[in-house]
Amino acid sequence: MAATLRRLPALAGLAVLAGTGAEFAGHHAFARQVRRDVQALRAGASPGRAGVVTEEMLAELPEPVRRYLRYTGVVGKPFPGTVQLRQKGQMRLGPGQRWVPLDAEEHYPVQPPGFVWAGTARMGPFPVARARDMYAEGRGRLPAKVASLWPVADASGEQMDQAGMLRYLSEMIWFPAAFLAGNISFEAADDSSARVTLTGHGRTATTTLFSGTQGRLTDFVAHRYRTPTSSDPWSTPVTGYGEFEGLRLPASATATWKLPDGDLEYINLTLTGLHYDTGPADRASAPPPEGSGR
């Protein structure tokens, strides 16, 4: 017994080292997968549309959309081809659950629509879960792992395809020139809102955009799948603005499920960095994804 007790500190140290090594390996495996996903997404991206946004391009849009695009300052700016951003914030899994700090990066091609989002949730200095939310070639997927090692979720299918499409549509607020693409259509609702529809891969996704009298975007609202069998009202109110790439863009936002027993706010994020690639030369010189190891 005494010999066993003497060995306990050493055994505990070995366990810590084993856990640290496993997490280190898991982190690098996750970063490699994200890098592969981003490279595939960028390889299939079309170059940015030629020229710049003009006032004439806004002429036929519903007033709330026209007001919003003018407010961003997008008129006179080039069309981006791909976009990358970084975020900080917090998330929780359900009502009564604790909020967990979150760091994330995201990459988009403007055409065809798609994204790779990679997030790491932490408790103190320790990562407790990593996830990639993806939408590419009309398909959505959300693989998640605890500490990068043990899969806890890998959602895919028709509901995830629709959810990915809606997420892309709502996040075009960070590259608003995309609202002028041919796969986007609008329907006026009232003086402060308009329905926005993205079409592709045989399906459509529609959200309602709300903008204030000065043009600030205030919210996106849609019905989105929350479970494999049901959808619920989903809202992404904008809580702050900042200047990125010479544009006035939402700098912070939340996502909330509107449920019968009350609202469930499950994530809030702040934009900490944004970069547009507007042509082949720009894309070639773009920095690698954060955490890529390059």
Mean per-residue pLDDT pooled into runs of 10, the chain (294 residues) = 40 36 57 86 88 96 97 97 96 85 95 93 78 85 52 62 91 97 96 96 94 95 82 94 97 94 93 86 41 35
Q: Give the long-range contacts of residues 55-62, CB within 8 A, separation 24 or more.
A: 57/180, 58/180, 61/186, 61/194, 62/186, 62/187, 62/188, 62/189, 62/194
- pLDDT of amino acid 226: 78
Query: What pLDDT does residue 34 have?
Result: 83
Q: In this structure, which long-range contacts are made by residues 208-215, counting pairs with CB atoms below 8 Å and at least 24 apart in sequence?
A: 209/64, 209/65, 209/68, 210/64, 211/64, 211/65, 211/67, 211/68, 211/71, 213/67, 214/67, 214/71, 215/67, 215/68, 215/69, 215/70, 215/71, 215/72
Dihedral of CA 288/52/44/203: which sign?
positive
Q: What pLDDT score does 184 carry?
A: 97
Segment 6-43, tens digit of pLDDT: 443 443 333 333 333 444 445 677 788 888 988 988 88
Please write the tens of the pLDDT for every residue from 115-161.
999 988 887 777 777 888 889 888 887 655 444 434 444 456 788 88
Q: What is the pLDDT of residue 13?
A: 39
- The percent of residues above 90 in pLDDT, for the chain, comes to 54
Structure confidence at residue 281 (pLDDT) = 40
Tokens of 9: 């500190």
